[in-house]
Structure formats: C-alpha cells, structure tokens
Structure 1
Amino acid sequence: MIPAAFEYYRPTDMAGVLAILEEHGDDARVMAGGHSLIPMMKLRMADVPHLIDLQDVGGLSDIEIGSDSIRIGALVTQADIIDNAELTKVAPILREAALQIADPQVRYMGTVGGNVANGDPGNDMPGLMQCLDATFTLVGPDGERDVAARDFYEAAYMTEREDDEVLVAVSFAVPRGGYCYEKQKRKIGDYATAAAAIQIEKDGGTCSAVSVAMTNLSDTPIYSEAAGAALVGTAVDDAALKAAVAAMLEDIDPSEDNKGPVAFKKHVAGVILRRAIESAWARA
C-alpha cells in the first residue's frame, strides 16, 4: 500500500497548474481531494510521476448562489455542501446526496470537482449533476470552455476533459419542484449498488417536468429521457411508475461484480428508482 515515487507540486494559481501539466504531459495528474486518486496510487493501479495538488489555488472553494443559478467550485467538499444552509434551502438534493457519500472523514476532504471529474461510474455526483443538467467549466492552455454534464462521460474513467485541462467549477439552474437522491449500498461508506437522482415538477396533480438519472449501473451515469417522458403528463400513478422503471431498465447496462449479478442489479435499480420518484413526487 505504498505508491511509486512521485514529484509533488502545490501551485498557488491556475497558471502554475497549467504550466506543470504542459511540461509533463501524460505523466502529470491533478488532485482535488484525492480520495479516488490516492488509493489507486497506493494500490499501484495508477502511476503518477507528477502529482499536482489544487488545494492552494484560490477561487476554487467558493459557492455562488444567484437568483436563478448556482456555481460550485471544484474544491468545495461534501462537508461544505452539507453545512451550507443557504445552498440546502435552494437545492436540498445536494445535501441529501452528499450525506450518503462514504463517511464523515471522506466527506471532509472529498470534493465535488474530484467526484465528477475522474469518471468513476460509482461516484454519486456525476449522476446527480446529469439530473440537474449541470455544466462543467474546464480551463486549459486554450482558455475556458463549458461541457454539459450529460455529454461529459464517455466510458468508465474516460471523459471529455483533455489531459491538459482542469475542471474548475460546476454550474446549474436553481432546481424546482420535488427532489430525491435514493441510494442502496451494502454497507456504510460503500459505493452504490444503485442510486437515483430525481427532480420533478407538479402542475396541479400532473407531472409537468422531470429529470431522472441513475448511478453505477453502466460504464457511465445514465440520464434517461425515456424514463422522464414516461412520467410527464401523468399523475405519477402505478402505471406511470412501471413505465418509467421499464424505460430506465432499457437504458442501463450493468455488469456482474462483487455487488451482485446483473439480474439482481436490475431489480435493485427498479426498486430504488420507484422509491426515488415516489419520494420526489410527495415533496413536489
């Protein structure tokens, strides 16, 4: 459990970060909180000759809440989200999700940027950010660009981020309506067997808009337009719930691992999704 030798850098601005990335290319990696990268280095699953720590880069730990949008810096921790009363008031699904990530020790160091940037299909924030239709802001040698969360993930640990780019912020519109982040895991601190993020709006007794995403059921988080379409225009009754679950099961592609066989994962996905929709609808 000892990593291979590496050079450690702690620049104080983004220009310094980009200069190191440009100098060392594929041999350099950026670290936000480190709770994904460091274990992989210790297990020798990742060889990182040059490690760049973002902790001293200013401006990456801010939470900006506007009248209609929210911007979260890459170094904002899960604990920061949990403790921010104003953020919880306008986007309570963030706190609900953050409280289910790992354990308090991890949440005090684990960051939003790190959680979404490395492309781990088991992480909680990628699916949540797809549900919220978030935008990821990346900075590289050619300047700044934005990528939609729903377009960011290509495969397990493969994303739209280039090797010489750094994810610096996550932005999304203030969510409306009911919400739920529902997660099933084998033990405290574990990755999800399945998790669902739901935002749903109600017009009278009818669902007028909904966003549905699930975690750890494919090589990437899954945002399902079909599952949402099955709910819109309905009273979210049993038939609509069954149709939404069926649509999601068509979109996911789980594989067998230590969390169970494919049939079990699909069953859990259906149960978790239905619970999440029902909870969000009750809150709408």
Structure 2
Amino acid sequence: MDINSINNNIANLNNSSSLQLEKSTSSSKVSNTSKDALNLSINEYNKKRDELSLSVQSLNNGIGMTNVAQNAIEKQQNNLTNIQNKLEIIDTFENKNDIKQSINDELRSFNQIAYETKYNKESLLTMDYYDDKNTIDINTKTSNFSIEKPNTAAIANEIFETVNNSNLNDTNALNEVVTKVDNSVNQLQNIYDNFTELGNKLEINAKETIQEQVTLFTENKINKNKDFQKDSADFSKTNITSNMGYLAASQANIVQEQSVRLLS
C-alpha cells in the first residue's frame, strides 16, 4: 500500500466524519420540529378532552333534571287519579258538594309538589311573574337542547276554580268538573312526555359524547405508542451510527499504524 492511497483513505474518513456531523445536526433540527408538533398535539388533545368532559357534565345534569321532573309529575298524576276516583263515587254522597274538601286536599298536595320541584335551584314545574326564563335549556359545546318550561301549578288552580265554583249536585256542572279533570290529566301527560323526549335525546347525546371520549383516549394512547416506537427506532439508529463511527476510527488507526511501519 503506497502513501497516496493511505492519504486518500484518511481524507475519505475525514469527509465521512463531516458528513456524519452534518446528519446529526440535521437530525437535531427534525427532532426539535417533532417536539413542537408533539406539544401542539398534546394541547389539542387536552382541549378536546376538557370540552368533552364539560359536555358530559352538562348532559348528566340535564338527565338528572328530567328525572327529577318526571318523578314529581308522576306524584301529581297520582293526585289527579285520586280526584278522578273521588268523582267516580260521588253518587255515594248525599250532598255531592261534600267531596270538594277532599278534592282540595289533593290539589294542595299537587301544588306543593309543583313549587318544591327544583334542580340546582331552578324551578322545573312552575313559573311566576318574576321568572325571566320560559324555557329549560341544556347546552354543550356542540349541541343545544330546550323545552318550554311548564306551569303545572296553573293546572291545579284551574281545577280548584272549576270545582269550587260549581254546584256538584247539578249534573251539567258535575260533568264539567269531570271533563276539566280529564283534560288536566292529558295536559299533565303531555308535559311528562316532553321531559321523557328531552331525557332520551340527552341520553343519546351523552352516549355519543362518552364514546367520543373513549375514541379520543384510544387514539392518544396509540399516538403515544407510536412516539415511543419512533424514539426507540431513532435510539437504535443512533447506536448503529455511533458503532459505524467507532469502526471507521478503528480502521483509521490501523491505516495510520501501517503508514508508520512503511515510513520507518
């Protein structure tokens, strides 16, 4: 092996080392860019996760509200059913007007339920002059739900006026009271159905939102695994490159030793 060949090998080795240094610098820039992208992805994930959590919380509150309202309405329906039963046996009274007090007791219970039914301090079954909201609203980041706020207390008040302003010994007046109570039963059932429909919509949306949470979590977990695999691969590549460098250095030392022998 001549001196020129040795010098060429050493020069090639130096060029390879410079090229490797340039690759390392370039790799560092890519790593920084990837890190910035990863931070952005984490921020987006956290933002989406928080939005979904707030949506689920709002939907759960809405479902709880509909359940409270439905339970209260069921009790009011029992009051009206009791009134209907009393009117069915009114012929057993010598003076049919004597039944009014018993009906009024049911109406007082009905109204008490109406005024006491609240969720998060919001009245669900009554409205008054000072109430500035005539709807019940449940809002999320992507969906809005609303129904007209009922005033079941008005139902009881109308029955009370009809009953107490009528002579129940008169057949026509009695029939008018019976009809009024029957219509009130239907009216109350419609209110119950509105809450049922709202509750069903909220439950469907809640299930979809929870599924979206699960999907988001799964995708984030997969991305983390991908990043780990990438880091592991990068680490392995770095080790391989380093070993190649050590090998090249060893070869250079061998060449230098041979050159010294030739020159000595």
TM-score normalised by length of structure 1: 0.18
- Structure whose residues are more often strand by fraction: 1
TM-score normalised by length of structure 2: 0.19
Rg larger in structure: 2
